[in-house]
Structure 1
Amino acid sequence: MADAALRLKSLFEQLLGTPVPVRIRAWDGSEAGPPDAPALVVRNRRALRRLLWKPGELGMARAWVAGDLDIEGDLYAALDAMSSLVWERGADARSLAQALRDPEVRSAARGLVKLAGLPLPPAPPPEEVRRSRAHLHTKRTDKRAISHHYDVGNDFYEIVLGPSMVYSCAYWESPDGTLEDAQRDKLELICRKLELTPGQRLLDVGCGWGSMAIHAAREHGVSVVGVTLSQEQAAYARKRVAEEGLTDKVEIRVQDYRDVTDGPYDAISSVGMAEHVGSARYLEYTRVLFALLRPGGRLLNHQIARRPWQDESAYDIDEFIDAYVFPDGELAPIGTTVTQLESAGFEVRDVEAIREHYALTLRRWVANLESEWRRAVGLVGAGRARVWRLYMAASALGFERNRIGVNQVLAVKTPEPGRSGMPLRARTWN
C-alpha cells in the first residue's frame, strides 16, 4: 500500500466526524493533510493497534512513548490541534462505543482494523506503571510512587530544571527573564509570605533537591527540616547543603510527612507536594500540618489545581499522567483545597493564582530537555525522555488554556479566636 496516509486521514475523519487538523505521514512514506501543519508521524501499524486496543489518551500515550507515533514540526501546535479530538471530545472506549452505533463509523472502524492488522494487543512500554488502585496513599505505596517519578536520576533533572534544581512553578517578572531568576524569586516570595525571621524553624514538606531549604536558611537565617520520600533527592540535597556550609542550619530527612513528630514549627512550606496526597488523605494532610505548627504559625501551600466538574463524582484520573508520570497523583479544585485547610483549623488569608507562570516555566523545561536530547536519552532511555517531553509540553498548554491552574495559599494557625496575627495590609511581600 503506497497511500496509507490518505487512507488513514479518511478513516480518522470518518471516525471523528471532523477534519484531521494535522498532516499525517505514514510508515510507507506517504503524506496527507494540510501541507503547512505539523506532521503526525505514524511509524508502523503497531501504532494503530495501540489506538484500537486502547482508544483515547492512553493508547496514544503508549504509541508515543514506544516511538510508534511522533510529531514533526511545532510540538505545541500539534498537541493543541489534537487536544480537541482526544482530550476535550473524550475519545475513549465509552465514547467510541457510542459512536459505533453509526453505520459510517462502524465501516471506518473496520477499515482501520484491516489497515492495522489485529493480532494480540501490543504490550505497554516498560515505562508504564502497572498496579492496582485498591490501596492508594499508604506510606508504602506513596514511597513507591514518589520513587517512580523522582528517582529517575539527578543528572536528568539537572538537564530539565537547570542550575536552580527547583521542580515547581517559577515566578516570572517578565517572559524574557531567566529560569534561574524566576525560581529564585519564587523561593523569596514564599519566604516573604511566611514572614521568616532569623532563629525560626521551618518545615519544608516535599523538599526536593533542597533549594527552598537552602534559600530560607541562607537568606533568612532560619533552621530548616526538609523531608522527602526520594533517596536520590535527599542525597543530592545533603550534598548541596554541605557545599553551602549550612549543615548547622538545614537537616534533610528521608521521611513521610506523617512521621514528623518534632514540632512545633514556626512555618511550613509545601511546594508541589500536595498533588501526591490524594483526595482520600487530604484532610489528614492538612490536620498533620496544622498540628505541627505553633499558634500563629503560617503555612504556604503551593499546589496545582484542576477545574471543577459539574458532576464531581464523574471525575477520572488522567490516564497518561497516572500511568507514566505521577502514579496515584490527584488534582483538586482550589475551592476544595481551601475548604480542607479550613476544616483542619487553618484560617486562609491569601490565595494567589499564578497559572501563566507555570506555562512559562514548563516551556523552559521543555527547551532545556530538547537542547540536550541525546544526553537525556543516554541517561534515562528514549521512552522516559519521550514521556517527559510530552508531559511537560501538554501541561504547558493546559495552563495556557486554563484547563489547569496553580495557586499559592497562605494560611495561619490562629493563636486565639478572632486574632490572626496578620497585619491589616497583609500583602507585605509585594
Structure 2
Amino acid sequence: MSDAAGRLVTLAEEALGARLPVRVRAWDGSEAGPPEAPALVIRSRRALRRLLWKPGELGLARAWVAGDLEVEGDLYQALDLLSGMIWERGEQAPRGTLGKLSAVRSLADPSVRRMARRAIALAGPGLPPAPPAEEAPRRGGARHTLRRDRQAISHHYDVGNDFYERVLGPSMVYSCAYWADPDGTLEDAQRGKLDLICRKLSLTADQRLLDVGCGWGSMVLHAAQEYGVRAVGVTLSTEQAAYARKRVADAGLTDRVEIRVQDYREIDDGPFDAISSIGMAEHVGSAQYKAYAATLYGLLRPGGRLLNHQIARRPLVHEDAYRVDEFIDRYVFPDGELAPIGTTVGLLEDAGFEVRDVEALREHYALTLRAWVANLERHWPEAVRLAGPGRARVWRLYMAASALAFEHNRIGVNQVLAVRTEAGGASGMPGTRTAWLGGGA
C-alpha cells in the first residue's frame, strides 16, 4: 500500500464532512494534511481496525493506549484541534462527530457502504483487536455496591504509589489545587487548597475530623499538624492506606490520625465535628448520592460542617440523555458519574444540610492538570517502568484532555460548604466570608 496517509485523510474528511485539522503520518511513511499542524501518527493498520470495530472515543482510546496511535508535536494543540470531532463546543451533551458516527448501525446508505469498503481495504482483514490490558473489564450487577466500588477504586488507585509520586509530586494530593499565585509551585497550590478547606471547616484543636476518600493522607496530616485535630481518614485503596499510614507514623501522629480501609457506608463511630470529602463524591453515583449525603449528615454533630469538593458537568436539556464517557469509564474511573452543581446542592439540602457557600475552581483544575502532565512527561521513563507504557499513556491522555475540558468550560469543579444546623436553626457561621475564612478572600 502506498500513500496510506493521503487515502486516510480523504476518507476521514469525506466521513466527517470537514477538513481534518491535523497532519497524518501513516505506517508506510506517507504524510498528508496541514504541514504546520501536529501530526497524528498511525503506527499500525491495527489502529484502523480498532476504529472500525468501535467507532468513536473508545476506538481512539484503545489505539492510543496500545501504542498504535501517537501524537507528534503539542499534545494539547492536537487535542484542541480534534475536540470538535470528540466534543462539540457549546453543546450541553458532549458528543462530537466521532460520537455521532459511532451511532451509525445501518449500511443501507450506499455512500456509507462505499466508505466502509474503502476503510476495510485500508485497515486490512482481521477480527477486532483485543482491548489493551489496561482496560477495565465489563462489570455485571448493580452499580455502586460495596464490592463493585472496591473493584473500581482499586483499578484507578492501586497502580503503584511510586507512579503517583512521579505524577503528583511531594504533596501527594490528587485533586484540584488552589492557585493563589498562578506562577507558584504545585506544592504551594496544594498546600493552599488544604489550608483553605481547613479554614472553611473552622478546624480547632482536638476536634474530630473525618476525611472521606483520604487518598494518601495529605488532608488529615495537614489538619493534624496545622490545626491540632484528631482525624480519621478512610479509603478503599489498600495501597493508598499503606502509604498514608507510613506518612502518619513518620510524622509522629499515630496518636492523632487513623487511616482505615473502609467504605463511607460502614463508618459507625460518629459524631464528627467536621467532614471533608475531596474528589471522592464523583465515585458515589447518582443512584447513591442521596444516601451518601444522608450518611455524612448523620455522622456530623449539630453545628458540624461538611466541605464537599467535587467535579461537576454541565446540565442537560434532558437529564436522562446523560452518558458516561467511554474512555473515562473503561480506563480511568470505572463507574464514575458527574452531576451538575445544582443537583449536588439540592441533594445535600434534601439530606438536611444548609448550604452556606459554593466556590467554583474550574480554572484552578486546568492549572493543576497541566502541572501533573508536566510531571509525568518529566519522569516519563520512570513512569513507564513503574506502571507500564499503556497505563502511562492512559494518564497522559486523560489529564491533558481533562485540562482542556476545564479550560473550555465543558466541566467544572466546586467546593460546597454545608452545615448541619443546631436545634432552632443556629449555624454557628460568622456573618461574613472574610470572618470565616480567617482573613481570606
Q: Normalised by the shorter chain, which TM-score bucket?
A: over 0.9
1:142 to 145, 149, 156: 149
Is 1:32 aligned to residue 40 of structure 2? no
Residue in 2 that maps onto 1:344: 351
After superposition, residues 387-402 of structure 1 pair within 5 angstroms as 387-402=394-409
| DSSP 3-state at the match of 1:406 | strand
Deviation at 1:93, TM superposition (A): 6.5
Deviation, 1:114, is 1.1
The answer for the alignment partner of 2:165 in structure 1 is 158
Determine if contact 1:54/1:93 at 8 Å carries over to the other structure: no
Whole-angstrom distance in 2 between the partners of 1:174 and 1:16: 42
- Does the aligned pair in 1 maintain the 2:208–2:230 contact within 8 Å? yes
Q: Which amino acid in structure 1 is aligned with residue 19 of structure 2?
A: P
Post-superposition CA distance 1:202-244 (Å, at most 9, x none): 0000000000000000000100000001111011001101111
Instruction: Confirm or deny: 8 A CA contact 1:207 1:228 kept in the other structure.
Output: yes
State the Cα distance separating 1:87 from its structure 2 match: 2.7
1:423 matches 2:430? yes
Structure 2 residue matching 1:182: 3-state secondary structure? helix
Report what 1:127 is aligned to.
Answer: 134
Are positions 1:168 and 2:179 aligned together? no
- The unaligned stretches of length 5 or more in structure 2 are 89-95
Query: Matches of residues 217-236 of structure 1 in structure 2 within 5 Å?
Result: 217-236=224-243
2:73 match: 73
Aligned to 2:13: 13
TM-aligned CA deviation for residue 95 of structure 1: 5.3
1:358 paired to 2:365: yes
What is the letter of the counterpart of residue 353 of structure 2?
F
Q: 1:372 is matched by which residue type in structure 2?
A: H
Q: Which moved more, 1:81-90 or 1:373-382?
A: 81-90
Listed as ranges, the matches of 1:212-291 within 5 Å are 212-291=219-298
Count of residues in Structure 1 that have an aligned counterpart in Structure 2: 430
Contact 2:358–2:417 (8 Å) recurs in 1: yes
CA change 1:96–1:344 in 2 (3 A) is closer
CA distance in 1, matches of 2:236, 2:308: 18
Quick check: 1:53–1:121 contact (8 Å CA) kept in 2?
yes
Q: Distance in 2 between matches of 1:159 and 1:206?
A: 21
Give, in angstroms, the shift of residue 99 of structure 1.
Answer: 9.2
1:104: Cα distance to partner? Answer: 3.7
Report the RMSD for the aligned CA atoms in angstroms.
Answer: 1.3
Matched residues in 2 for 1:91 and 1:64: separation?
A: 15
2:207 corresponds to which of 200, 203, 206: 200
Structure 2 counterpart of 1:109? 116
Structure 2 CA distance for aligned equivalents of residues 149 and 250 of structure 1: 25
Cα distance in 2 for residues equivalent to 1:108 and 1:77:
28
In the alignment, the residues of structure 2 paired with residue 262 and residue 426 of structure 1 have an alpha-carbon distance, to the nearest angstrom, of 31
Deviation of 1:199 (Å): 1.2
Q: Is the Cα–Cα contact under 8 Å of residues 11 and 109 in structure 1 kept in the other structure?
A: no
CA distance in 2, matches of 1:85, 1:203: 43
Q: Is the 8 A contact 1:14 1:104 kept in 2?
A: no
| Aligned match of 1:2 | 2
Secondary structure of 2:104's counterpart equals: helix
Is this contact kept in 1: 2:331–2:394, CA < 8 A? yes
Alignment TM-score, normalising by the size of structure 1: 0.98
1:105 CA displacement: 4.2
Residue number in structure 2 paired with 1:61: 61
CA contact (8 A) 1:55 1:93 kept: no
SS in 2 for 1:92: helix
SS of residue matched to 2:131: coil
Aligned to 1:306: 313
Q: Give the drift of 1:96.
A: 5.0
Deviation per CA, 1:333-352, whole angstroms, max 9, x where unpaired? 00010011000000000000
Q: 3-state SS of the aligned residue for 2:337?
A: coil
DSSP 3-state at the match of 1:2: coil
Equivalents in 1 of 2:33, 2:76: separation in Å? 18
How far apart, in 1, do the equivalents of 2:140 and 2:290 lie?
20
- Measured in 2, the distance between the counterparts of 1:202 and 1:244 equals 18
Q: What is the CA–CA distance in structure 2 between the aligned matches of 1:142 and 1:369, rounded to whole Å?
A: 27
CA 1:94–1:313 in structure 2 vs 1: closer, same or farther (change >3 Å)? farther
CA–CA distance in 2 between the matches of 1:100 and 1:26? 27
2:340 maps to which residue?
333
* 1:272-293 deviations in Å (ceiling 9; x for gaps): 0000000110010000000000
Does structure 1 conserve the Cα–Cα contact (< 8 Å) formed by 2:56 and 2:101?
no
Task: Provide the C-alpha distance between the structure 2 equivalents of 1:151 and 1:282, rounded to a whole number of angstroms.
Answer: 24
Q: Judge conservation of contact 2:41–2:71 (CA < 8 Å) in 1.
A: yes
2:398, 2:234 → 1: CA distance? 26
Rounded to whole Å, the distance in 2 between the matches of 1:290 and 1:278 is 18
Are the counterparts in 2 of residues 290 and 345 from structure 1 also a CA contact under 8 Å? yes
Tell me which moved more, 276-285 or 107-116. 107-116
Q: For residue 421 of structure 1, report the CA deviation from its aligned partner.
A: 1.6
**Matched-pair contact (CA < 8 Å) for 2:67–2:390:** yes
| 2-structure distance, mates of 1:403, 1:134 | 30
Residue in structure 2 matched with residue 91 of structure 1 by the alignment: 98
CA–CA distance in structure 2, aligned partners of residues 58 and 118 of structure 1: 20
